[in-house]
Every structure is written in structure tokens, then in C-alpha cells.
């Protein structure tokens, strides 16, 4: 069964826009768990424009499901995750001022850097995942780093889905098949939603986990968080 990890960054964005602690990020993480989420994802950035360092530390003591921390593995980020020790760290090649993730790693060009980070995560008992596109060479080099998983960047799939689902999903199936042959677990995330998620998972039934934030939070404004999580999990099952 593919697990649903709820990215709660947008909850923190809303909180930060007004100051104070409403909505409460910790309470929302707890509620997502109680509504059936299999994991909680956060993506702290250096400017703390949404999830803050303190949030990450406090969430570690609260989250009982899988805790996944995404981010560019700078020295500061690595110090944070090694102190918090989530179940998984997903390494993403974001610039410090980037609005959202928009590409996977060039794992060939950054092979030594990523290998070093994978080793450091493993030394702390943390599962590693590398954010990649569907370029098969990039997946091959990701496997050589010793990482446990890759996360497929699915925005291209989401953008092309409405026009031709078969064409949209094909490169992701090929990439996931290669990753599986290389012994990697496969995660996925970015712009997956209630319209396109089920089709994606049906074509990659060995998918370990999807991490979904923006679309899920938007749906929750209309449906409520409990019903939204139920519908996303129904797509996965």
C-alpha cells in the first residue's frame, strides 16, 4: 500500500502571514495523524517563511507516524536533521529563495556531495531519499550514492495528465521500473491531486509513498481535512 505523507508547510505559511499561532501547526500535524495520514512532511527553508526550525524540533516529539523532512542538504540543514532524527530525509536541490521545488538533482554532477550526505544520514540512522526527475542516468547515479530511495518530481506528469494520461505517466513508469531494478524504494511528489493521483499509483503499484501539500490543503478548505485525507487515501488504495 502506498503511504500518504501530508506536507503541512502551507499551514505554517498561513500562520506566519498573521503572526501568533493560528492555525496551530502542531495541532494540525496531530489532527492529520488522527485522520489517517501515514506521515507528516515539512520542508524548512533558511528564511523560515513557512516551517521554522523550532517547528521541526517540536514536531519530532509529537509526530508518531513517519516524519519526513525535505530540503537542500546544506550544513545547517544537516545539523538540524541529525539532531531531530526523522525517519526520512528527502534531499531537494532548492535555492534559498526558491518559491517551490521545480527540478530534481543532477546526481551525476553532484555525486560526491550527495554520497557524502547519504553517508551522514545513514550514520545517524536516517533513511535517505533523493529528489529526481525521470532521466534514467540521474536515477542510476542516485543509486550509486547508496541512497535508500528516490522521490520522483511529478509536476511534468501533473501538467500533461489532462491532455494524455498515458503519455504523461509513461516516463515515470520507466523511471520507477529502473529504480526498482536498482534496489531503490520509489516515492513521488509535486502537484499530485485528487484528479491525477489514482491513475499515477495504478501504473506504479510498488510506489512507497506520496508527499502532498499544496493541493491537499486547498482541497481541505472546501472538504475539511478529515474528508480530504480520506479521499486521498482512497486514491492510493
211-222 pLDDT per residue, tens: 999 999 999 999
CA 143 to centroid of chain Cα atoms: 18
Q: Which three cell numbers stand for residue 130?
A: 533523493
Q: Which three cell numbers stand for residue 57?
A: 524540533
Looking at residue 103, its pLDDT comes to 78
- Average pLDDT score over residue span 102-123: 95
Looking at residue 95, its pLDDT comes to 66
Q: Are 4 and 38 in contact (CB under 8 A)?
A: yes
Looking at residue 3, its pLDDT comes to 98
Residue 94: which pLDDT band, with cuts at 50, 70 and 90?
A: confident
Q: How many CB atoms lie within 10 A of CB 224?
A: 12
Taking alpha carbons only, the member of 132, 136, 172 closest to residue 153 is 132
Q: What is the tally of structural domains in the chain?
A: 1
Range of the domain at 228: 3-236
158-172 pLDDT, tens digit per residue, is: 999 999 999 999 999
Task: Flag whether pLDDT at 237 surpasses 90.
Answer: no
The average confidence (pLDDT) of the chain is 96
Q: Which of 33, 43, 151, 209 is catalytic?
A: 43
Spatial distance between the Cα atoms of 104 and 81, rounded to a whole number of angstroms: 20
Residues 6+ apart with CB under 8 A from 212: 4, 5, 6, 7, 189, 192, 193, 197, 232
Task: Flag whether pLDDT at 99 surpasses 60.
Answer: no
Looking at residue 230, its pLDDT comes to 98
**Quick check: is 70 catalytic?**
yes
CATH number at residue 75: 3.20.20.70
Look at 27-41, 94-108, 110-124, 181-195 and tell me which has the smallest mean pLDDT: 94-108
**Quick check: is 30 catalytic?**
no
Q: Which of 33, 50, 151, 190 is catalytic?
A: 190
Residue 69: which pLDDT band, with cuts at 50, 70 and 90?
A: very high
Integer-rounded Cα Rg, in Å, for the chain is 17
**Quick check: is 151 catalytic?**
no
Strands 127-132 and 149-153: parallel
Q: Which of 33, 50, 70, 151 is catalytic?
A: 70
Looking at residue 146, its pLDDT comes to 98
Amino acid at each position: 500500500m502506498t503511504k500518504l505523507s501530508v506536507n503541512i508547510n502551507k499551514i505554517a505559511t498561513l500562520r506566519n502571514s498573521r503572526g501568533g499561532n493560528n492555525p496551530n501547526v502542531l495541532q494540525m500535524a496531530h489532527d492529520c495523524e488522527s485522520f489517517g495520514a501515514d506521515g507528516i512532511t515539512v520542508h524548512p527553508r533558511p528564511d523560515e517563511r513557512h516551517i521554522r526550525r523550532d517547528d521541526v524540533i517540536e514536531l519530532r516529539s509529537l509526530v508518531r507516524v513517519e516524519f519526513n523532512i525535505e530540503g537542500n542538504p546544506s550544513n545547517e540543514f544537516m545539523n538540524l536533521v541529525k539532531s531531530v532524527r526523522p525517519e526520512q530525509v528527502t534531499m531537494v536541490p532548492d535555492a534559498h529563495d526558491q518559491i517551490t521545488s521545480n527540478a530534481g538533482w543532477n546526481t551525476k554532477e553532484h555525486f560526491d556531495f550527495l554520497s557524502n550526505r547519504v553517508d551522514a544520514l545513514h550514520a545517524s540512522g536516517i533513511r535517505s531519499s533523493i529528489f529526481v526527475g525521470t532521466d534514467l542516468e540521474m536515477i542510476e547515479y542516485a543509486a550509486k550514492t547508496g541512497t535508500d530511495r528516490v522521490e520522483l518530481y511529478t509536476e511534468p506528469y501533473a501538467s500533461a495528465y489532462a491532455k494524455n494520461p498515458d503519455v504523461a505517466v509513461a516516463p515515470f513508469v520507466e523511471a520507477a521500473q529502473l529504480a526498482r531494478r536498482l534496489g531503490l524504494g520509489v516515492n513521488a511528489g509535486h502537484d499530485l491531486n485528487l484528479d491525477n493521483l489514482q491513475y499515477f499509483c495504478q501504473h506504479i503499484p510498488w510506489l512507497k509513498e506520496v508527499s502532498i501539500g499544496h493541493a491537499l490543503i486547498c482541497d481541505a478548505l472546501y472538504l475539511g481535512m478529515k474528508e480530504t485525507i480520506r479521499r486521498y487515501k482512497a486514491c492510493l488504495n
